């Protein structure tokens, strides 16, 4: 297909900037004037990041971090310094009827110097080819060293029905928001995309991610969520065996429902090989390494995720958690404080900081952070088990038992809180009850007990025969400490 240029392509006489190894794609502006088209501009941004992330010699900042600059009044040199990148891509999207126009420019971040600019227009049905052309042009301008496989991957264009791709972009938009309502909407949109185009591999991968998050964020039963996630991810790979986005979902299901640690690690590594700048894969892989007791490797992977997504709150918190499980509590506290400075309203950071204070014996500070986490949590039981654990440790038994009663009532209502109840019982020193509830968690809350073998809060029951049996059942006894 012949590229239609809407504006004169230009570059400075000296050409692109050799040696560019780090890049951020800022959110593309929606020029339609219609806020309902924001999802489309966001989808184009995601697509450019996803394709560029396939280049091994290029560090590409993840969507979560660049999204912070959507409305920020900061100069490009400031953004470059904060993201630690050499170059920035910025531009706009205009969708009108069945036509799409993207303009883009490449800027040397440190000098705020324009290196290249171009504009592309295609029919909506050719939008993936448009993305391929744009990414190829950027790769050329930064003088990226591409392997034959990378070159072929960047040039690869799947035929996708426009309606299916439109629904896929909307699905990703809602998936990134993580609320219950958005996750339900994402599932419906991915399913509709698949109905429109059953061979659309990315839609199947998006659906797999949705089922994982519906379990982790909304409490969808694991017996329902995991088989559906595995089925969707496997279908995605059946359609495209090199689709990096499908492998982390398969890895998580293998851990949570099969305790297949080796198989999960292999899948994480495959996804990372296919997309070296995929921060989510490093993030989740670091958790698996942590839960296997390989703390130095876990910290390295968590740092890599943070390097790719430096402003992500959950990725910042994950590095602090990696230090926590390695018993490096001072480092954990330092990292969580840095995350708290990024956004004091993010509840998990306060909770994890509270746990680190508790292991240091600083129980007053731990209680302050846990109570802050609870006050910030919009709904559900986030942080309730941690608060009860610290209350028990602090000798505030009456308040800890109030937490227990709340959690037990939620358990009777079907909520997956068995691990949280067991944790509170550990804090209170009721070890037989703790073992009983942790055993229930192995059945009804597998995502909550994957770190059973390394969680320092459980050290008081670690030598209990019942606890050792739980580790054997979940194959966690094979992981080293």
Distances (CA, A) of 42 to 11, 53, 64, 275, 471: 26, 16, 11, 20, 43
pLDDT tens for 150-181 read 787 777 667 778 788 889 988 988 887 777 88
Q: Which of 85-99, 225-239, 293-307 has the lowest mean pLDDT?
A: 85-99
pLDDT tens for 218-277 read 778 788 899 999 999 999 999 999 899 899 999 999 988 888 899 999 999 999 999 899
Look at the chain and count its residues.
481
Question: Average of pLDDT values for 321-326?
Answer: 97
In sequence order, the β-bridge partners of residue 22 are 59
pLDDT at 150: 79
Higher pLDDT, 313 or 414: 313
- 199, with CB counted inside 10 A (0-12, 13-18, 19+), is middle
Greatest alpha-carbon span in the chain = 75
DSSP 311: T
pLDDT at 215: 84
In sequence order, the β-bridge partners of residue 99 are 96, 123
Q: Which of 184-193, 196-205, 376-385 has the lowest mean pLDDT?
A: 376-385
CA-to-CA distance for 479 and 287, rounded, in angstroms? 13
Residue from 427, 419, 411 nearest 460 by CA: 427
Higher pLDDT, 153 or 305: 305
Residue 421 near residue 411, CB atoms below 8 Å = yes
Task: Inform me whether the pLDDT recorded for 109 exceeds 70.
Answer: yes
pLDDT at 366: 98
Cα 307 to the center of its chain, rounded Å: 13
pTM equals: 0.82
Residue 118 near residue 83, CB atoms below 8 Å = no
Higher pLDDT, 15 or 427: 427
- Reported as type and span, the H/E element at residue 93 is strand 87-96
Task: Inform me whether the pLDDT recorded for 13 exceeds 70.
Answer: no
In sequence order, the β-bridge partners of residue 122 are 100
Tokens of 403: 């937490």
**Contacts (Cβ under 8 Å, ≥6 apart) of 440:** 418, 422
**pLDDT interval class at 320 (50, 70, 90):** very high
In the chain, what are the domains?
4-155 (3.40.50.10610), 162-243 (1.25.40.10), 383-481 (no CATH)
pLDDT at 17: 45
pLDDT tens for 114-128 read 999 999 999 888 888
Mean pLDDT (the chain) is 88
**Contacts (Cβ under 8 Å, ≥6 apart) of 119:** 5, 6, 7, 9, 101, 102, 103, 104
pLDDT at 400: 97
Cα 41 to the center of its chain, rounded Å: 20
pLDDT tens for 332-347 read 999 999 999 999 988 8
- 378, with CB counted inside 10 A (0-12, 13-18, 19+), is exposed
Number of H helices, E strands in the chain: 22, 8
Task: Inform me whether the pLDDT recorded for 476 exceeds 80.
Answer: no
pLDDT at 159: 73
CA-to-CA distance for 161 and 121, rounded, in angstroms? 18
pLDDT at 478: 67
**pLDDT interval class at 3 (50, 70, 90):** very low
């Amino acid at each position: 297909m012949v590229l239609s240029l809407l504006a004169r392509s230009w570059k400075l006489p000296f050409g692109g900037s050799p040696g560019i190894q780090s890049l951020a794609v800022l959110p593309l502006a929606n020029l339609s004037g219609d806020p309902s088209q924001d999802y489309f501009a966001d989808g184009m941004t995601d697509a450019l990041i996803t394709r560029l992330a396939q280049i091994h010699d290029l560090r590409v900042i993840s969507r979560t971090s660049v999204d912070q600059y959507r409305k920020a009044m900061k100069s490009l040199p400031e953004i470059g310094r904060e993201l630690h990148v050499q170059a920035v891509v910025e531009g706009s999207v205009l969708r009108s009827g069945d036509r799409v126009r993207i303009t883009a420019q490449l800027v040397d971040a440190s000098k705020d110097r324009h290196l290249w600019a171009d504009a592309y227009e295609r029919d909506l049905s050719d939008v993936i080819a448009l993305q391929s052309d744009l990414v190829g042009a950027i790769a050329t301008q930064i003088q990226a060293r591409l392997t034959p496989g990378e070159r072929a991957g960047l040039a690869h264009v799947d035929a996708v029905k426009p309606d299916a791709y439109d629904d896929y972009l909307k699905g990703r938009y809602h998936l990134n928001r993580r609320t219950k309502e958005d996750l339900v909407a994402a599932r419906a949109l991915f399913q509709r995309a698949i109905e429109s185009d059953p061979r659309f591999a990315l839609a199947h991968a998006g659906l797999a991610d949705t089922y994982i998050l519906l379990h982790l964020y909304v409490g969808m039963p694991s017996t329902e969520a995991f088989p559906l996630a595995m089925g969707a991810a496997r279908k995605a790979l059946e359609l495209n065996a090199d689709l990096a986005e499908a492998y982390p979902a398969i890895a998580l299901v293998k851990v949570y429902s099969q305790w297949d640690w080796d198989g999960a690690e292999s899948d994480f590594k495959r996804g990372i090989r296919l997309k070296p700048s995929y921060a989510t894969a490093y993030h989740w892989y670091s958790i698996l390494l942590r839960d296997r007791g390989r703390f130095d490797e876990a910290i390295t992977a968590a740092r890599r995720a943070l390097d790719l997504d430096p402003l992500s709150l959950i990725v910042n918190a994950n590095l602090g958690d990696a230090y926590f499980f390695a018993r490096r509590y001072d480092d954990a506290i330092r990292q969580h404080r840095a995350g708290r400075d990024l956004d004091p309203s993010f509840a998990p950071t306060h909770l994890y900081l509270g746990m680190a204070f508790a292991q240091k014996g600083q129980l007053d500070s731990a209680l302050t952070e846990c109570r802050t986490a609870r006050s910030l949590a919009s709904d559900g039981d986030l942080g309730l088990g941690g608060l009860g654990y610290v209350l028990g440790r602090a000798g505030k038994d009456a308040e800890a038992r109030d937490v227990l009663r709340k959690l037990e009532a939620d358990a009777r209502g079907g909520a997956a809180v068995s691990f949280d109840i067991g944790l509170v019982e550990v804090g209170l020193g009721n070890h037989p009850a703790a073992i009983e509830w942790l055993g229930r968690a192995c059945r009804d809350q597998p995502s909550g007990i994957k770190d059973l073998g390394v969680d320092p809060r459980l050290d008081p029951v670690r030598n209990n025969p019942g606890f050792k049996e739980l580790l054997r059942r979940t194959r966690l006894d094979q992981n080293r400490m």
